[in-house]
């Protein structure tokens, strides 16, 4: 066999192999089209379109770890509250869905919350349906829009351990709101949370209804509102106001209440006034001293206030560790004077770490 024959044989073999490979070639299939999640910026940050729809969804929440502490509280030797500490971890998830309709913005919200020191599983927090200015569901009223610290009590009273009927700000309700950029007003009807969901409670009351309303606005760096509520069962009215203003290096908040009688909205005192001032030390750290005074904190069987007073001072510190992670600590002192029944005082506070998303 000469060189020429060897080359011709090799060429024939290569041609045969190449032909076989060409016959068995695998052709890659075209990739299926993929629908990526689209960002929805029509309703603010954090929303995205639910694939295949024009509805925008936002998922948010937080995980909070907190340690509470308090001293014993007694009135002239009669113990009303044990002292000590407790730990708790809370998880909250909130789902908000929004879309534009011919009737205005359609908004629905589901909020789920659970605490480690509670026997309950996840329970329903503020959840509702809103179309334009009309809102129905389970949500808070605007009795307390919120102050910058943790000293002023807007949904609790100075007598620790007392069996209050007031502070009922979360109910099944219906509300209509009129709002512009600088002004808002609403009227709301409340069905108070009766036993097992029925209208009549264990005591046989069948007027477990209330109505509340608010007028408020923002003028420059000042926000103010006037809130009023009437309880049809207790047949009494309460009015309240919250004012916040940017002053100097921080924000001042003032909260005031006048109650004509004990109701489910408020029964902690005939009147109270409190203030907090959050001082921005730097971009990450702020400190907020606060003070509050209550007058006529006792009431009789008819809901009429008839004596006692209390005051409270404290300070709250907030620190932003990094984006989405904050720490908060507060310590407060409360002094209670029940006239002829005696007096007492207590310390309370907490340390909190919270991751929000």
Q: What is the pLDDT along the chain (357 residues), one digit of tens a residue?
A: 454 454 345 444 444 445 544 445 565 566 655 567 899 999 999 999 999 999 999 999 999 999 999 999 998 878 888 999 999 999 999 999 999 999 999 999 999 999 998 887 789 999 999 999 999 999 999 887 778 899 999 888 998 877 788 887 889 999 999 999 899 999 999 988 655 556 555 555 566 899 999 999 999 889 999 999 999 989 999 999 999 999 999 999 999 999 999 999 999 999 999 999 999 999 999 999 999 999 999 999 889 999 999 999 999 999 999 999 999 999 999 999 999 889 999 999 999 999 999
Cα 209 to Cα 255: distance, rounded to the nearest angstrom: 25
Q: Which residues of 321-349 are buried (b: 16+ CB within 10 A; e: fewer)?
A: eeeeebebbbbbebebbbeeeeebbbebb
Cβ atoms within 10 A of the Cβ of 272, count?
28
What residue ranges in 141-281 does DSSP mark as E strands? 170-179, 183-191, 209-219, 222-231, 236-247, 250-259, 271-280
In the block, residue with structure tokens 């209440």: 257
**Beta pairing, strands 56-70 & 47-49:** antiparallel
Cα 192 to Cα 353: distance, rounded to the nearest angstrom: 33
Under CATH, to which class is 70-89+140-356 assigned? mainly beta
pLDDT at residue 288, rounded to an integer: 98
Cα 60 to Cα 97: distance, rounded to the nearest angstrom: 12
What are the phi and psi torsion angles at 11 (to 5°)?
A: -65, -40
Give whole-number Cα distances, 282 to 253, 287, 338, in Å: 19, 10, 42
Instruction: Tell me the β-bridge partners of 140.
Output: 170
Cα 353 to Cα 357: distance, rounded to the nearest angstrom: 14
Cα 38 to Cα 173: distance, rounded to the nearest angstrom: 34
> Does residue 228 contact residue 241 with C-beta atoms inside 8 Å?
no
- Report pTM: 0.84
pLDDT at residue 147, rounded to an integer: 86
Q: Which two tokens stand for residue 198?
A: 């029925």
């Amino acid at each position: 066999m000469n060189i020429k024959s060897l080359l011709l044989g090799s060429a024939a073999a290569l041609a045969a192999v190449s032909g076989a490979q060409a016959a068995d070639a695998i052709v890659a299939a075209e990739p299926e089209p993929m629908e990526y999640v689209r960002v929805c910026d029509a309703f603010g940050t954090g929303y995205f379109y639910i694939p295949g729809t024009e509805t925008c969804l936002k998922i948010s929440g937080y995980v909070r770890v907190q340690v509470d502490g308090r001293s014993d509280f007694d009135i002239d030797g009669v113990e009303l509250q044990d002292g000590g500490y407790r730990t708790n971890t809370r998880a909250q998830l909130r789902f908000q869905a929004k879309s534009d309709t011919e009737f205005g913005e359609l908004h629905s919200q589901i909020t789920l919350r659970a605490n480690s020191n509670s026997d309950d599983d996840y329970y329903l927090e503020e959840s509702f349906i809103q179309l334009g200015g009309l809102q129905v569901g389970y949500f808070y009223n605007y009795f307390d829009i919120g102050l910058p610290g943790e000293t002023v009590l807007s949904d609790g009273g100075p007598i620790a351990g007392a069996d209050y009927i007031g502070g009922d700000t979360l109910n099944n309700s219906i509300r209509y709101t009129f709002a512009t950029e600088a002004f808002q007003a609403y009227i709301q009807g409340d069905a108070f949370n009766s036993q097992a969901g029925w209208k009549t409670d264990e005591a046989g009351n069948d007027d477990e209804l209330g109505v509340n309303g608010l007028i408020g606005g923002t003028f420059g760096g000042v926000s103010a509102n006037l809130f009023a509520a009437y309880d049809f069962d207790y047949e009494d009215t309460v009015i309240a106001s919250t004012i916040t203003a940017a002053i100097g290096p921080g924000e001042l908040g003032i909260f005031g209440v006048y109650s004509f009688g004990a109701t489910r909205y408020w029964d902690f005192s005939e009147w109270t006034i409190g203030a907090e001032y959050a001082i921005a030390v730097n971009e990450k750290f702020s400190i907020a001293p606060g003070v509050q005074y209550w007058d006529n904190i006792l009431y009789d069987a008819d809901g009429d206030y008839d004596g006692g007073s209390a005051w409270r001072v404290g300070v709250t510190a907030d620190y932003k560790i990094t984006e989405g992670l904050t720490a908060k600590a507060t310590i407060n002192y409360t002094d209670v004077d029940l006239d002829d029944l005696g007096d007492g005082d207590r310390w309370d506070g907490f340390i909190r770490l919270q991751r929000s998303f």
